[in-house]
Structure 1
Amino acid sequence: MLFSTPPLTDDDRAVLAAIDAHREAMRYSLSAPHRWVGTLARQQRARDTVGSNSIEGIHVSREQALAIRADSADLVEVDEDWLAVRGYSDAMTYARIMADEGRDLTLPDLLALHFMTTAHDLGQRPGRLRLTDIYVQQEGSGRTVYTGPAPEEVDGLLDELLSSLASNSPDEHPLVSAAMAHLNLVMIHPFSDGNGRMSRILQSWRLYLDRLAEAAFVSVEEYLGRNTEAYYAVLAEVGAGRWAPERDASPWLEFMLTAHYRQAMTIRRRIDVMEQVARRVDELIDTLALPERAAAPLEFVLTDWRLTNALYRDAAGVTRPTASRDLNLLTKAGVLVREGDKRGAAYSPSAELQQWVELTRRSARQRFDVAADPYRSLRRGRKL
């Protein structure tokens, strides 16, 4: 027996409809072959990587995650965190490939994903199911807050979960089925380690399976990384300390749909800013006779990313000397301001550009409230 999908309430349906409307607007903006779409997608993959891994205490910067996702080991220091994030990134890419092929997920697939995610620590039995009881303990106090099902139950529960995904009803909204897949896998806790990351990978795979054009932009990994305490709290509420699939999963579904709603608002805000940034970058290149290859790096720095020689050459696809020459040119042209020396140098927008960026962001913040609680709004009689 697994946690069953709770009957959708009128509020659930209203929130899903609002999310779909935001996704449709995103799809329209992202469908055109604009250069900035690639920049935004790379940024979002890095943010998702940071968010999902931070929940497990694995911390890298956005810029480090960007380099890892780009397989640019020469741009960052390779350490234990790098290996963990690299493995997670590989697993997420593999999940996307499997979903694109449209085939059902099997237990060997799940074990392969787990191996990629945890292979940096062989002591955690990468690619193998746990053989012992498992207890989730509260950090600090050491108090047991959740006890998973017995190890002899794990095989059968995973078979049931994978079968349910293979026979998923076409009438069930993909966000709902993806959320329930996440809940069931994390509650089964089939592995010695990596259960949270695996559950979030499975959720993303379920979204990719529906071939959502904007799937890379509607993952809630970034949101969960920013709201880890609330994430753990709702899991504790639904789980009640032990494997109890008969319990009501409604609080989990409301939490997840709220996460998707807020993340959709966040992405729409970023699209709004990026569209204006891209236009401003094109104007700068034209009026100042700057090299066109500087466009993507400038989009990064004008959307609050730390621009270094490493990020410049990765975004522009150039060598270190070319990146250095371009950065010097952009500095002399008054577009960028250099901070620091030699390899530690970083670049930020000029004061004039920084002021323009802040005005652009302020306008986007007014249009898209990323903290809005859709359920609270509905309960107060407001429309979404």
Structure 2
Amino acid sequence: MDKAVLEEIEEMRRDLKYRLAETHRWDGQLRRQLQARAIQGSNSIEGYQASVEDIQSIMAGEEPLETSAPVAREIAGYQQALTFIQLLSRASVFRFDVGLLNSLNFMMIGHHRDKTPGVVRPGGIYVRNSATGEVVYEGPDAEQVPGLMDQLVEWLNGGDPDAPSYVRGAMAHFNLVSIHPWRDGNGRMSRALQTLVLGRDQILTPEFSSIEEWLGLGENTIDYYRALRETQQGAWRPHGEMLGWVRFCLKAHHMQAQRVRQRLAEAGEIWMLLEEQVDADGLNSRTVSALYEVFVNRRLRRSRYQADEGLSQGQAARDLRDLAAKGWLRPYGETKGRFYAPGPRMERIKADFAERVTPLRDPYR
């Protein structure tokens, strides 16, 4: 069964690779959306909630409309680390080392100087149930951590080379989160490491190979913690049974690949539909970019559209006014806080596509 699931994941990845080899107008926006959803998923697991729209604003160096400053710092730190991981995935010269892992941790939580970011913890560490306060996991003694990190890095560079990449990524995730080497950011670091392992094996780019979005979705987060706890059994166990954890990760990869494949197919259909509508309205074809952004997200800011299409501020503002006048967009707010939400015509198209969603298939059922 596991072999069949792996083969199906690989088949979907090959299909995505071929589709991505062709250049489409919507590729950049789709990649940005998927990266934002990965960042959203990994941070929401830790209790840092932000909308996809605000995360995209933070990614662009803009002030978010709704997200608080403390949460925005968490998002920005994680985005910085994930951007570095994308570069490392394509680097011609690369080796895993403890310094790299410490640096990624510092990128993520460097704004928490009181938590000694990028430095191995000096003492014991406990993971508690946030609802009850009960200790659900105790990490290895601090004296063991340097040696365990060295062993992990040695394995990352050459251990189990014949194992499927998805299995190696799952093992890297589990081992790092179980060592729990830092005072904070261990969960996000472990999920990011899984993405880097896959990226180094050239499994597309991190925004397409990451399972962070899937892990951050409602009940999936509960299942994620359950899979960790059942495998960890409360304390550091270097030789525990791993099959349940690996199967959980394979399922997550399979389900996320299904979601991405659906989004790719939907993106082309939506874009062509919007092109027809824009042409019929006598609008500039570049405005499809703005309409697509509003379709996949709840809102659009003028600066985003302006940057995507390389326009002047005046050109972008005029285009958005024209779209609002035609009933495609609805403006809200003033000056820096101004944004555009779906107008009545866009709402009808979104409602039509919402009814056509194909349910995902659990590969283990």
Once the two structures are superposed, the pairs formed by residues 286-297 of structure 1 within 5 Å of their partners are 286-297=279-290
> Hey, what's the Cα distance between the residues in 2 that align with 1:362 and 1:26?
24
Is the 2:173–2:193 contact (alpha carbons within 8 Å) kept by the matching residues of 1?
yes
Kept in 2: contact 1:124–1:192 (CA 8 A): yes
Aligned partner of 2:332 among 329, 335, 340:
340
Q: Kindly indicate whether residue 343 of structure 2 is the aligned counterpart of residue 374 of structure 1.
A: no
Q: Does residue 1:26 correspond to 2:19, yes or no?
A: no
Structure 1: runs of 5+ lacking an equivalent: 1-10, 377-384
* Matched AA of 1:143: E
Q: Give the count of matched residue pairs.
A: 361
Q: Percent identity?
A: 36
Higher relative contact order (CA 8 A, sep 6+): 1
Is 1:330 the counterpart of 2:320? The answer is no
Which of 190, 195, 204 in structure 1 is aligned with 2:186?
Answer: 195
**Match for residue 261 of structure 1?**
254
Change (3 A) 1:106 1:48: same
CA distance in structure 2 between the aligned counterparts of 1:75 and 1:81, rounded to whole angstroms: 12
Q: Which residue of structure 2 lines up, in the alignment, with residue 233 of structure 1?
A: 226
Give the distance between the partners of 1:127 and 1:293, measured in 2 at CA: 44
1:54 alignment counterpart: 44
1:340 and 1:70 map into 2 onto residues whose CA distance is: 21
Q: Are 1:356 and 2:349 counterparts?
A: yes
Change (3 A) 1:74 1:349: closer
Q: What is the distance in 2 between the residues matched to 1:213 and 1:284?
A: 33
Render the CA deviation track for 1:199-220: whole Å, top value 9, x for unaligned. Answer: 0111111111012235421211
The match for 2:2 is 12
The amino acid across from 1:25 in the alignment is D
- TM-score, structure 2 normalization: 0.92
User: Retained in 2: the 8 A contact 1:80–1:120?
Assistant: no
Give me the CA root mean square deviation.
2.0
Q: Is the 8 A contact 2:9 2:253 kept in 1?
A: yes
Tell me the SS of whatever aligns to 1:146: strand
- C-alpha contact 2:199 2:206 (8 A) present in aligned 1: yes
The structural deviation recorded for 1:341 is: 4.1
Structure 1 residue 188, shift from structure 2 partner: 0.4
Does residue 1:140 correspond to 2:123, yes or no?
Answer: no
CA distance in 1, matches of 2:362, 2:75: 31
Contact 2:199 2:209 (8 Å CA) reproduced: no
1:37 aligns with 2:27: yes
Q: Is the 8 A contact 1:26 1:214 kept in 2?
A: no
Q: Does 1:69 align with 2:62?
A: no
Pair 106,58 (structure 1): closer, same or farther in 2 beyond 3 Å: same
Q: 1:350, 1:153 → 2: CA distance?
A: 58
Which residue of structure 2 lines up, in the alignment, with residue 111 of structure 1?
A: 102
**Aligned residues of 2:38 and 2:207 also touching (Cα < 8 A):** no
- Residue from 159, 164, 182 that aligns with 2:150: 159
C-alpha distance in 2 between matches for 1:77 and 1:232: 26
* Aligned-partner Cα distance in 1 for 2:173–2:261: 25
Could you tell which deviates more after superposition, 124-133 or 80-89?
80-89
Q: 1:126 to 1:89 in 2, by over 3 A?
A: same
Q: Matched residues in 2 for 1:17 and 1:153: separation?
A: 38
Asked if structure 1 preserves the Cα contact closer than 8 Å seen for 2:298 and 2:342, the reply is: no
Residue in structure 1 matching 2:299, options 303, 306, 309:
306
Q: Is the 8 A contact 1:47 1:222 kept in 2?
A: yes
1:92 equivalenced with 2:85 (yes/no)? no
2:208 is the alignment partner of 1:217: yes
Deviation digits for residues 202-248 of structure 1 (CA, Å, limit 9, x no counterpart):
11111110122354212110111112111111111000110012210
Q: Could you tell which deviates more after superposition, 299-308 or 80-89?
A: 299-308
What residue identity is the alignment partner of 1:200? R
What secondary structure, in the 3-state scheme, does the structure 2 residue paired with 1:212 have? coil
- Does the Cα contact within 8 Å between 1:75 and 1:310 map onto a contact in 2? no
Deviation at 1:160, TM superposition (A): 0.8
Separation in 1 of the partners of 2:297 and 2:276? 19
Q: C-alpha distance in 1, partners of 2:171/2:278?
A: 48
Aligned to 2:263: 270
Instruction: Tell me which of 243, 248, 251 is aligned to 1:250.
Output: 243
The letter for the 2-side match of 1:288 is D
Q: Which AA in structure 1 matches 2:131?
A: G
